[in-house]
Copies of this chain bind each other. A is one copy, B any other.
Amino acid sequence: MNYQALFEQIKKKKSFLCVGLDSDMKKIPTHLLSSTDPVFEFNKAIVDATADYTVAYKPNVAFYECRGAVGWRSLEKTVIYIKDNYPDIFLIADAKRGDIGNTSKMYASAFLENMPFDSITVAPYMGEDSVTPFLEYDNKWVILLALTSNKGAFDFQFFEENNKKMFEKVLEKSQEWGTKENMMYVVGATKAEMLSDIRKIAPDHFLLVPGVGAQGGSLKEVAKYGMNQSCGLLVNSSRGIIFADTSDQFAIIAQIKAKELQKEMENLLIEYSIL
């Protein structure tokens, strides 16, 4: 999916919501556990209930990998189901991969070739040749970790050389490798006011913002400091939507929660003259 198509989808759905499919086997409704692939059934129900309100889905791979080959099968089935039934929706593999060049190539093929993901989150520590193999696919994206939303972000991401912080260096340097057409950045919403500084370095790129909801960020603040002329934001919510309810009504409650966020986003898109 290219930049323009993503922006068109945002305008059409009046939403920049990404739903995180962190489908923890221990948290999904118990009535699903008797099916042959409970995680897939859960994801399918969540997707069918929320697809009108979201522009992206983001399975975090850890929640599948922890179930081994069986979990991988659930992941494969989930992304194929979404791509077959909702081809306009942007698919993010939240995998945080990164290795030396010939190995990153293998990860790229795992997610961008063998599965129909549009994008993958990548860790920057190993530098250029760990990132660029993911950029070799047309209309596929790297979403590079810049400033994460967790407490540990302060350990290394704020390391500073000549008044430049590590995450700022990542934002700058990586623009030699990719463009706003194939690279986004992960920027944690728990530090929304920092988005205005980030916009000075990366004015046009899409930012994937986790941490709204369970991790504590405010949507209004994120839009205030982070939105650009093409919206430029994908804001993720995982637990606040998919585990809002664990009864047999879980999908309809997830839909209500997604719709609430979409409505809030619609108002912000109007406020900032995107719609």
Name A's B-contacting residues (CB within 8 A). 22, 24, 60, 62-63, 65-70, 72-73, 76, 94, 96-101, 103-104, 106-107, 109-110, 114-115, 123-131, 145, 148-157, 159-161, 166, 169-170, 173, 215
Contacts and interface: CB of A to CB of B under 8 A. Distances in A.
Contact of A66 (B106, B129, B166): B106
Contacts of A24: 106
A126 B110 contact: no
A41 to B, nearest CB: 17
Copies of this chain per assembly: 2
B106 A65 contact: yes
A140 B145 CA distance: 27
Contact of A169 (B104, B153, B159, B215): B159
A37 to B, nearest CB: 12
Contact of A148 (B67, B126, B155, B159): B126
Contact of A156 (B62, B94, B169): B169
